[in-house]
């Protein structure tokens, strides 16, 4: 079993090494020689390690169901730990004088945030946040870490959004059918796009790339029209990074204050579309773009729900902020932040730490915990589960008024479910939601214990929900000066949130009890 797991993780490391080498192009363009060396060494080391390990384990058996879940858990853990190497290496080899050159002219701070990455825990946190598409950061002043690392963060989110295991299936042709299905199911949610899983993985990446390219062109054109005085080079660099971060719902930005850094209402409106598209499922985007089924915009249950929730939630949050009377532009901030939270993108245009508790609790319960569409790059419990639970609640109440001999099917998501099937679906959704909320509650309690006294209980819940749901919005608790214990907790939350907890629980169970079955 262990050889099987190690072989699959080795294949992921080969790909990860390639991901690390791509920013070398950016380092060459911007003449960031220490970053070029750091990425080259890290990428070659990682790919070589994966290649030789894969060769050594070439005769290992293909994974079964139990092993595929462990591969998802350990594979992602390996990716976020090894993915931290470039941050650490570049921070260690870069002289202070070089770091200071990254600080933009005219800013108030005098120290490069690249210094933060001389702390290995901060590197692992940043890597976790990147690959899990969360967006919380230890790079407090983003522009001061250099263009290469900014690109690596965004590119990591983009690759992590569609999934490393899905990429491995698309790249490696030798994985047999049943094993491919199990590996695909361990990471990806949503229906298959093709009868063959390998072809499905390639279709996912095809659609993912097309939408990202369209968003790059859209953001480039929009920025040139809205901010014609903005440098063209910066426009292109921002657009490619924000296109990747938006489609992956990762939320990293090249600007110091996220999208608020543009100081433009029109720019904030421009970024609503990338967030909404990122919150949709890839199977829906495939049907809409490739198959040209335009009616799916309303017929797809998740897409319809996220559009309605975005409008209704944005209005309600705006009203709450308006009633508080502390926010100067409640509609602008309310609509943007609700969509950012629901899609789990995490771009920020408001000082959420200055909001009232009611607004914070509303965005937690109404957006961050729910998340976007299953089959996409989002976190949270997913809209499809939320819809199923509300449908199940109505179904159970209506059953009270039926005769004992009546058997009535339930129509949900274009499927007719018999009572036994409906109970099974509800049990799965309910158990996952319960586990999710327990994880969130535990993290919030630890946050309260370790956070500064300047923050409230609502702030603690918000930050924990942001990490668990891979959202990336922050009230200010996430900071390079935060407790190492709390930083570790958030790392574990982001990891478990990305792979939907169950693989983590399977891993923990095996570590304590092994693979033998036990009496319940």
Q: Quick one: CA dihedral 513, 517, 518, 520, positive or negative?
A: positive
Q: How far apart (Å, rounded) are the C-alpha atoms in residues 391 and 385?
A: 10
Q: Give the bridge partners for 411, in sequence order.
A: 416
Per-residue model confidence as pLDDT tens digits over 387-415: 999 999 988 888 878 777 777 788 888 88
Taking CA 171 as the corner, what is the angle to CA 166 and CA 175, rounded to the nearest 5 degrees?
Answer: 80
Mean pLDDT of 263-275: 97
102 neighbors 114 (Cβ within 8 angstroms): yes
Residue 169: the pLDDT is 66
The token pair that represents 386 in the structure block: 């939320």
Report the pLDDT value the prediction gives residue 183, as an integer from 0 to 100: 56
- The Cα–Cα gap between 163 and 147 comes to 24
The token pair that represents 93 in the structure block: 């080899």
The predicted pLDDT at position 348 comes to 95
For the cut 60, the answer to whether the pLDDT of residue 27 exceeds it is yes
- What average pLDDT does this structure show over 164-191? 57
Question: How far apart (Å, rounded) are the C-alpha atoms in residues 265 and 270?
Answer: 9
Stronger pLDDT, 24 or 519, i.e. the higher one:
24
Give the containing element (helix H, strand E) for 283: helix 282-285
d(CA 97, CA 198): 48
Query: Collapsing DSSP states into helix, strand and coil, what is residue 112?
Result: coil
Per residue in 441-475, pLDDT (tens digit) is: 999 999 999 999 999 999 999 999 999 999 999 99
pLDDT in tens, 41-89: 999 999 999 999 988 988 777 777 677 888 888 999 999 999 999 999 9
Query: Looking at residue 203, what is its pLDDT?
Result: 86
- Closest Cα to residue 258, out of 269, 268, 244, 243? 268
Q: What pLDDT shows up at residue 67?
A: 77
Most confident of 176-190, 227-241, 321-335, 497-511: 227-241
144-174 pLDDT tens trace:
999 999 999 999 999 998 876 676 666 665 5
b/e map of 311-330 (b: 16 or more CB within 10 Å)? eebbebbbebbeeeeebeeb
Q: Which residues contact 12 (CB under 8 A, 6 or more apart)?
A: 50, 75, 78, 79, 164, 165, 168
Q: Take residue 226 and report the two structure tokens written for it.
A: 């809205």
Write the DSSP symbol of residue 380.
Answer: S
Of 67, 162, 187, 135, residue with least CA distance to 500 = 187
Question: To the nearest whole percent, how much of the chain has pLDDT over 90?
Answer: 71
**Looking at beta carbons, which pairs linking 401-407 to residues 24 or more positions away fall under 8 Å?**
none
Measured distance CA(204)–CA(209) in Å, rounded: 9
The region of weakest confidence among 20-29, 92-101, 357-366, 389-398 is 389-398
pLDDT for res 187:
55
pLDDT of residue 513: 76
The answer to whether residues 359 and 144 touch, using CB atoms and an 8 Å cutoff, is no
Dihedral-angle region of residue 31 (phi above 0 means left; psi in -120 to 50 means alpha; beta otherwise): left
What is the average pLDDT across 11-30?
Answer: 96
| CA distances (Å), origin 226, targets 60, 126, 162, 270 | 56, 31, 31, 9
User: Of the ranges 209-213, 289-293, 514-518, which is most confident?
Assistant: 209-213
Residue 129 is predicted with a pLDDT of 97
Dihedral of CA atoms 315, 367, 481, 154 in degrees, nearest 10, equals -100
Q: Residue 143: name the closest of 259, 229, 253 by CA.
A: 253
Would you state the pLDDT for residue 515? 66
pLDDT higher than 70, residue 191: no
According to DSSP, the residues that pair with 417 across neighbouring strands are: 410
pTM: 0.94
**Is 304:350 a contact under the CB 8 Å cutoff?**
no
What is the pLDDT, as a whole number, of residue 83? Answer: 97
CA dist 123 → 108, 135, 149, 203 (Å):
25, 14, 12, 33
pLDDT, average across residues 221-225:
98
117: number of CA atoms within 13 Å, CB side? 32
d(CA 13, CA 238): 28
What is the rounded CA–CA span in Å between residue 279 and residue 341? 10
Residue that wins the pLDDT comparison between 517 and 352: 352
Average confidence score pLDDT of the chain:
90
d(C-alpha 362, C-alpha 157), whole Å: 27
Q: What is the mean pLDDT of residues 105-128?
A: 95
Task: Work out the number of other CB atoms within 10 angstroms of the CB of residue 225.
Answer: 10
The confidence score (pLDDT) of residue 340 equals 97
| Residue 486 scores a pLDDT above 70 | yes
SS3 430: helix
Does 135 score more than 90 pLDDT? yes
> Hey, which bits of 288-417 come out as E strands?
410-412, 415-417
pLDDT at 402: 75
Can you give the pLDDT at residue 197? Answer: 74
User: Rounded to an integer, what distance in angstroms lies between the CA atom of residue 391 and that of residue 78?
Assistant: 39
- pLDDT exceeds 70 at position 189: no
Query: Which has the higher per-residue pLDDT, 364 or 161?
Result: 364
Short-list 98, 93, 10, 22, CA closest to 56 = 10
Separation CA 187–CA 370 (nearest Å): 19
- Alpha carbon distance 208, 430 (integer Å): 30
Q: In the prediction, which pLDDT does 199 show?
A: 80
Q: pLDDT at residue 381 above 80? A: yes
Tell me the pLDDT tens digit for each residue of 275-332.
Answer: 999 999 988 999 999 999 999 999 999 999 999 999 999 999 999 999 998 888 999 9
The mean per-residue pLDDT over the stretch 222-229 comes to 97
**417 SS3 class:** strand
End-to-end CA distance of the chain: 24
């Amino acid at each position: 079993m262990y050889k099987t797991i190690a072989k699959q993780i080795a294949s992921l490391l080969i790909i990860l090494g390639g991901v690390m080498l791509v920013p070398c192009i950016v380092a060459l363009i911007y003449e960031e020689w220490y970053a070029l060396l750091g990425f080259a060494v890290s990428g070659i080391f990682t790919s070589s390690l994966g290649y030789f390990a894969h060769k050594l384990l070439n005769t290992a058996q293909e994974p079964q169901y139990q092993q595929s879940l462990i591969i998802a858990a350990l594979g992602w853990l390996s990716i976020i730990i090894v993915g931290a190497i470039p941050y650490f290496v570049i921070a260690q080899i870069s002289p202070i004088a070089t770091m200071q050159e990254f600080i933009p002219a005219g800013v108030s701070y005098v120290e490069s945030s690249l210094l933060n990455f001389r702390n290995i825990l901060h590197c692992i946190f940043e890597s976790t946040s990147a690959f899990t598409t969360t967006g919380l950061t230890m790079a407090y002043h983003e522009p001061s870490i250099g263009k290469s690392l900014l690109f690596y963060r965004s590119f990591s989110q983009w690759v992590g959004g569609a999934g490393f295991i899905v990429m491995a299936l698309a790249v490696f042709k030798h994985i047999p059918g049943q094993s491919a299905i199990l590996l695909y199911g361990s990471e990806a949610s949503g229906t298959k796009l093709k009868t063959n899983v390998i072809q499905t993985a390639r279709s996912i990446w095809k659609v993912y790339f097309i939408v990202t390219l369209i968003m790059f062109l859209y953001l480039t054109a929009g920025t040139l029209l809205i901010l014609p005085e903005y440098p063209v080079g910066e426009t292109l660099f921002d657009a490619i990074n924000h296109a990747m971060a938006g489609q992956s719902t990762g939320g990293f930005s090249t600007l110091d204050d996220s999208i608020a850094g543009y100081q433009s209402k029109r720019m904030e409106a421009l970024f609503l579309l990338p967030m909404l598209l990122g919150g949709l499922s890839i199977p829906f985007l495939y049907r809409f773009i490739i198959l040209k089924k335009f009616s799916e915009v309303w017929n797809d249950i998740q897409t319809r729900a996220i559009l309605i929730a975005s409008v209704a939630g944005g209005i309600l949050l705006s009203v709450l902020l308006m009633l508080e009377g502390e926010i100067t532009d409640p509609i602008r901030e309310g609509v943007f932040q609700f969509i950012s939270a629901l899609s789990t993108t995490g771009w920020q245009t408001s000082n959420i730490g200055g909001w009232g508790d009611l607004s914070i609790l509303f965005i937690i319960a109404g957006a961050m915990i729910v998340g976007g569409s299953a089959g996409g790059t989002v976190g949270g419990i997913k809209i499809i589960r939320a819809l199923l639970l509300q449908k199940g609640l109505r179904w159970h109440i209506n059953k009270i008024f039926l005769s004992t001999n009546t058997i009535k099917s339930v129509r949900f998501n274009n499927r007719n479910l018999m009572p036994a099937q409906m109970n099974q679906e509800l049990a799965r959704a309910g158990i996952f939601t319960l586990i999710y909320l327990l994880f969130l509650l535990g993290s919030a309690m630890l946050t309260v214990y370790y956070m500064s006294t300047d923050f409230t209980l609502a702030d603690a819940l918000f930050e924990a929900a942001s990490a668990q749901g891979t959202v990336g919005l922050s009230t200010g608790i996430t900071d390079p000066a935060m407790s190492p214990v709390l930083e570790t907790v958030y790392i574990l939350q982001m990891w478990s949130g990305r792979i939907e907890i169950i693989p983590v629980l399977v891993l923990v169970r095996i570590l304590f009890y092994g693979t033998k079955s036990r009496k319940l």
